Amino acid sequence: MAYNKPLPVPSAESKPFWEGCRRHELLVQRCRACGKHWLPPSALCPECLSTEWEWTRASGKGKVFSFVVYHRLYHPGFKDELPYAVALIELEEGPRMLSNVAGDVKAVKCDMPVEVFFEDATEEVSLPKFRAASSGRP
Ligand SMILES: [Zn+2]
């Protein structure tokens, strides 16, 4: 089935992030000068403005910082997904990113532990999404 929802258009700065997603790896930028981790991608460390940074693989674990549940259809591609949760996820490493929390929207709560998984939307694009963390399961 063709994917009928909006897809990210990688910029020069975010291309490595999306390439990581394609490999099912969640990447964040890490400053070599001060150690800060951040997203969204930028050419300078937002903390100390250093240009000495690297992409590093995040644990994929985090928590729900804030969220909303969409009950109304704003894009026809989401017709079969209502209601769905859009959440600001705070990663273990610190950066916050917008994503979805999969599963029962009634179970989504602030501070809920979540972990990343990847949805292969197309041949080229995989989307990082989150679900309740499997507590202790391998
Ligand atoms: Zn820095």
Going from the Cα of 117 to the center of ligand 1, the distance in angstroms, rounded, reads 28
Domain locations along the chain:
15-132
Can you give the three-state secondary structure of 82-113, one letter per residue?
A: CCEEEEEEEECCCCEEEEEECCCHHHCCCCCE
Q: Which pLDDT tens digit goes with each residue over 7-63?
A: 999 999 999 999 999 999 999 999 999 999 999 999 999 999 999 999 999 999 999
In sequence order, what are the beta bridge partners of 23? none
Spacing, Cα 48 to ligand 1 middle (Å): 4
